[in-house]
Copies of this chain bind each other. A is one copy, B any other.
Amino acid sequence: MNEQLRSKLTTLLESSDESKQALLSLLEGVEEKHNGNYKTYLAALMGISSRLMNENTYESIIPNRVLVHNPLGITHGGITASLMDIAMGSLVHQFLPKQQAAVTSEMKIHFLSSGTGSELRCLSTAILKSDTRWVVEANVYRDDQKLVATATGTFMIITKKA
The quantity of this chain's copies bound in the complex is 4
Instruction: Determine whether A60 belongs to the interface, using a CB cutoff of 8 Å to chain B.
Output: no
CB of A125 to closest CB in B, whole Å: 11
Collect the chain B residues with CB atoms within 8 Å of residue A23's CB.
5, 26-27, 30
Flag the segment in A50-58, A116-124, A150-158 that touches B. Answer: A150-158
The answer to whether A127 and B112 have CB atoms under 8 Å apart is yes
The answer to whether A21 and B1 have CB atoms under 8 Å apart is yes
Collect the chain B residues with CB atoms within 8 Å of residue A34's CB.
12, 15-16, 19
Collect the chain B residues with CB atoms within 8 Å of residue A86's CB.
78
CB of A26 to closest CB in B, whole Å: 5
Collect the chain B residues with CB atoms within 8 Å of residue A13's CB.
2, 5-6
Point out residues on A near B: beta carbons under 8 Å: 1-2, 4-6, 8-9, 11-13, 15-17, 19-24, 26-28, 30-31, 33-34, 39-42, 45, 66-71, 76-79, 81-83, 85-86, 89, 103-113, 127-128, 132-133, 135, 137, 147, 150, 152, 154, 156
